[in-house]
Structure 1
Amino acid sequence: MFLTSSCAGVVLGENCGCLSLSQAISHGDLQGMKDFLMRRQVATTSWSDIFETPLQKACCCGQVDVVKELLLQNRKMPNEMESLALDNAAGNGNLETVVELCENNSALLRQENSDSYGLVIPVVRSSNAGKGEVTRYLYKQTPLGVLMEDEGYWATCLLLDAVFYGFLDIVLGILDRIPPDQVPSLAVTKHPRQRSSPLRFLALKPDLFRSHCDLGFWRRLSYSCMIP
């Protein structure tokens, strides 16, 4: 029995059509994608299958040119589409797409922009997913004021994620950027919206300390560069 998606208007039994669109996006076939969307009159915000929209598919596959084309076709709501595209790209670790979107619209990094669409800020989206390369890029692009909103809530989120995934360079970077008098409240005091403080969480990660394990030469060298 076939089901239908009310938000998509796509019959799940139309597997061939969905597969064609999915393959065109995956392979960066711009013309094939445009022909399909025009022929079927499918909106770029509709679901290409039961799992994702064309924009989500393009972001997941890192097809920057396809992302650009889909955004161009949605001029009526550019900020929303770009925010959703950045959210998907950050969560999937697609650095090229993230860079392209941020360079064209730095406002996407602002908290009020994320709040408008019920999203976390991009750097925390990528840190939640453990995408180190993208997190480092977004961390450098995100203004300190954004991280320190709401008593440093986003900075705390980023610190906790960085400790969990071992991104110690980001941990040190955050603590180095904020005024010294704010370090205790951010790193030691538990934020009202969090279950633990970064320092307490760090204490639960003994594997991050050199004394816990026998490091090889290169790891000892890297450790000495990150930890004074």
Structure 2
Amino acid sequence: MAGPEIREDDNFARPLLKAVESGDWNATRDFLNEHPRALTARMTTFMGGTVLHAAVDAEQQEIVMELVNMMSEHDLAMKDNFGYTALHISGNQKMAECLIRKNKELVSIRNKGKLLPVALAMSDGHKELARYLYSQTPFQDLEADRDFNGASLLNSCFYQGDLGMVIKNTAIDSIRGAALQMQREVQWFKEVERICPLTHKEISNKYKLTARQLFTKDHNEMRKEGENWMKGTATSCTVVGALITTIVVAAAFTISGGNNQDTGLPILHDELFKLFIVTNSLSLCSSSMSVLTFLGILTSRYAEEDFLRSLPRKMIIGLSALLFSIATMIIAFSTALLLMLRGKYKIVIPIIGLASVPIILFVLMQFRILIDMLVSTYGSGIFDEKMKPWL
């Protein structure tokens, strides 16, 4: 139920609005304590909105948080003359999070134009806010057969020639590697496209471009950067893999302790020797597989779709195989030293430690890339539970 209406000509609301717009919470609180009905009153001076609408519009985050604590869930859902709740007019993600924590139903409330907050956020250019609101909006509210909110998201993204989800100072800047950034952009486009009716996907904007064509145009530079990043990483890892392959092949034919001149078999037959043979063979197989996988990356066509699954999957397989080959090579090296210098642990242990330092540093640097790839490709996605795994 709406609160009492404060008429514009009685000047009653002016001190309250002035305090809110100036960010003076003390004055705002004192006014509300003196006039409790003003907390939920619909003010004609603010198009029928409440004091919360005014605080959100003025982007006074502290005041918004305090007002949310004072108001009930029902009060937060109050609309102005155009059917807008405070969430509809919010362009600040922190304020939106505060409102939704108190009342999760706000994301499903439509204005008089039947638009959800997520569709309005995208149409107003608040891309990171739109992504957050999408993660909070029930999927059934966006399904294509329900209304046009799903289509509105896609239309808002491309109608004015702007499908570039990446802008400076946004969360995507924290993603390491242009390939992962490109993957994130394709994930976003695919998810929005999924909730859009088929008829809307081929509509052209004012530049005679469909959504897909505009996405390709806007992300051409990012695709090239992602290609260069992938090729650079694959090239460096191919060199390392080839070196490991060369080393372990040579080690297999230069057996510690030598061979028996009569039988040609290795002189050493204990458990350490067996461990050396096994780990050396595993290192050879895994390094060869990593080299072949990275060669597959270098010869890829680098289309937009490849950044979604194909290229990240190859990179994950290649890095995993390379790291495994490095680990088994270290074990084989350590075993060979123990075979040659039995009992001389004061010499063996420092040598193994020093030889492992550069290898461990390389592993640590590449391991972070591997984890990022795994999370980005097989994780829950940027849209939480509504994002289908890209398997």
2:202 maps to 199
Letter of the 1:25 partner, please give it: V
- Determine the structure 1 residue equivalent to 2:98: 100
Aligned: 1:46 with 2:52 = no
Moved more, 80-89 or 165-174: 165-174
Distance 1:27 1:210 in 2: 44
- Equivalent pair of 1:21/1:48 in contact (CA under 8 Å): no
Once residues 223 and 138 of structure 1 are traced to their aligned partners in structure 2, the CA distance between those partners, rounded to angstroms, is: 30
CA drift at 1:21: 2.3
Following superposition, the deviation at residue 58 of structure 1 comes to 0.5
8 Å contact from structure 1 (residues 155, 174) kept in 2 = no
Q: Distance in 2 between matches of 1:116 and 1:50?
A: 16
Q: Report if the CA contact (8 A) 2:123-2:156 is conserved.
A: yes
One-letter amino acid of the counterpart of residue 221, structure 1: M
**Counterpart position of 1:193:** none
The residue aligned with 2:163 is 167
Counterparts in 2 of 1:222 and 1:27: CA distance versus 1, 3 Å: farther
Residue 143 (structure 2) aligns with: 148
Determine the C-alpha separation between the residues in 2 that align with 1:209 and 1:124: 19
Deviation at 1:99, TM superposition (A): 1.8
Q: Secondary structure at the match of 1:84?
A: coil
Determine if contact 1:21/1:36 at 8 Å carries over to the other structure: yes
Measured in 2, the distance between the counterparts of 1:32 and 1:77 equals 25
1:24 alignment partner in structure 2: 19
Does the 8 Å CA contact 2:87/2:99 hold for their aligned counterparts? yes
Answer yes or no: is 1:208 the counterpart of 2:209: no
CA shift, 1:162, in A, is: 1.2
Counterpart residue number, 1:220: 221
- Equivalent residue for 2:257? none
Q: TM-score, normalised by structure 1?
A: 0.65
Report the AA paired with residue 115 of structure 2. Answer: V
Unaligned runs of 5+ in 1: 1-5, 190-196
Change in CA separation of 1:116 and 1:201 when aligned onto 2, cut-off 3 Å = closer
Distance in 2, matches of 1:42 and 1:11, equals 18
- Superposed displacement of residue 158, structure 1: 0.8
- Residue in 2 aligned with 1:137? 132
1:69 aligns with 2:66: yes
Residue 203 of structure 2 aligns with an amino acid whose one-letter code is R
Deviates further, 130-139 or 72-81? 72-81
Residue aligning to 1:176: 190
2-structure distance, mates of 1:153, 1:123:
12
SS class of match (2:133)? helix
1:116–1:23 CA distance, 2 compared to 1 (3 A): closer
Partner amino acid, structure 1, of 2:64: V
Q: Quick one: distance in 2 between partners of 1:84 and 1:70? A: 14
Distance in 2 (alpha carbons) for counterparts of 1:39 and 1:32: 11
- Overall identity of the aligned pairs, in %: 21
User: Matches of 1:126 and 1:176 in 2, distance apart?
Assistant: 19
Relative to the length of structure 2, the TM-score reads 0.41
Q: Could you say what secondary structure the match of 2:86 adopts?
A: helix
- Which of 55, 74, 77 aligns to 2:52? It is 55
Q: Classify the secondary structure of the residue corresponding to 1:167.
A: coil
SS of the residue corresponding to residue 11 of structure 1 reads helix
The structure-2 alpha-carbon separation of the partners of 1:222 and 1:49, relative to structure 1 and needing over 3 Å to count, comes to farther
- 1:171: how far off? 8.2
Secondary structure of 1:159's match? helix
